[in-house]
Amino acid sequence: MSVVASVRAEDFDTAAELAALEAMGGGGVASFTGIVRGGDGLVSLHLDHYPAMTQAQVERICADAMARWSLLGIRIVHRTGTLLPGDRIVFVGTASAHRTAALESCAFLIDWLKSHAPFWKKERFKDGRETWVEAKAEDDAKAAEWG
Amino acid sequence: MATLEILYFAWVRDGIGKDGERIESPLPETTVEGLIDSLVARGGGYAEALGDRKRLRAALDQRFVPLHTSIGSAKELALFPPVTGG
């Protein structure tokens, strides 16, 4: 079992992340890549986080996934700082002997990251407005569905 | 003197105007919301940022806790809005 969780400002190489998962000897790899969505005059997105807690919380979420599914490995990268439309924000990848465990655990991990990891997004717009993104009730509901 | 480090994030930090502060540790039975009440009583940015309890979340020593949790012997309290990562 291999869990690699990284919280950092630097970008990540999606192909390299997938290659690491593919090399774990399983029969299936699933992944999710989150991208900064443009539109509505968005200029940039700033990701604030609670450094002392973020890494620990991401590791707890991974341990939870490992306990629920038979996995060979998990790789998570969550970026912080200022990002532009089209930039990658987050990568979640899982490797397993079979596809169901890989696909389900990947969906579980991104749902839990959204509602249980201490990150906050602030949007900056062309007209100079800056607003903190409001949490969505549907994100909490999605995470709660996993029990 | 035992102290409690309080950290603020996102719009809570913007409203209060600082990242955090160190205070003298409250009595162990003090709850997070009891402490929030005492901060709101300072007025100004505190009252504005911490006034609406429904929009606040908390962590004690880097673990999420409900606002009615006692602070006990915790060393660090963080106050912030619901998270929006991913």
Model pLDDT for residues A82-126, shown as the tens digit of each residue? 999 999 999 999 999 999 999 999 999 999 999 899 999 999 999
Q: Any CB–CB contact under 8 A between B75 and chain A?
A: no
The overall average pLDDT reported for chain A is 94
Q: What is the ipTM of this complex?
A: 0.92
Q: Is the pLDDT of residue B1 over 80?
A: no
Cβ atoms of A29 and A21 within 8 Å: the answer is yes
Q: What is the pLDDT of residue A15?
A: 98
Does an H or E element contain B16, and which? Answer: helix B10-16
Evaluate if residue A147 carries a pLDDT over 80.
no
Name the residue with tokens 């717009």.
A125
The pLDDT, as a whole number, for residue A136 is 83
Q: With a threshold of 0.80, does the pTM exceed it?
A: yes
pLDDT recorded at residue A138: 81
pLDDT for A146: 80
Look at residue A142 in the predicted model and tell me its pLDDT.
82
- The rounded distance, in Å, linking the Cα atoms of A99 and A119 is 29
Tell whether B19 lies on the interface with A, counting CB pairs under 8 A.
no
Q: Is A41 exposed, middle or buried (0-12, 13-18, 19+ CB in 10 A)?
A: exposed
- Is 90 exceeded by the pLDDT of residue A47? yes
pLDDT score at A84: 97
Separation between Cα atoms, residue A134 and residue B61, nearest integer Å: 25
A120 with B80: Cβ contact below 8 A: yes
> Which tens digits make up the pLDDT trace of B40-72?
999 999 999 999 999 999 999 999 999 999 999
- pLDDT of residue A1 exceeding 90, the answer is no
Domain ranges for chain B, please list them. Answer: 15-28+40-74
Contact partners, residue A114, CB within 8 Å, separation at least 6: A139, A142, A143, B83, B84, B85, B86
**Strands, E assignment, chain A:** 2-8, 28-35, 42-49, 73-79, 81-83, 88-96, 119-125, 130-132
C-alpha to C-alpha distances, B85 to A46, A72, B19, nearest whole angstrom? 11, 25, 19
On whether any CB of chain B is under 8 Å from the CB of A137, the answer is no
| Banded pLDDT at A141 (limits 50, 70, 90) | confident
Predicted confidence band at A73 (pLDDT cuts at 50, 70, 90)? very high
Q: Least CB-CB distance to A135: which of B59, B76, B84?
A: B84
Give the H or E element holding residue B22: strand B20-24
Can you tell me the mean pLDDT for B5-16?
97
Q: Which residues contact A137 (CB under 8 A, 6 or more apart)?
A: none
Is B9 in contact with A120 (Cβ distance < 8 A)? yes
| Percent of chain A at pLDDT exceeding 90 | 82
CB B72 within 8 A of CB B28: yes
Question: Cα separation of B82 and A110, whole Å?
Answer: 16
B43 shares contact with chain A (CB less than 8 Å): no
DSSP state of B70: B
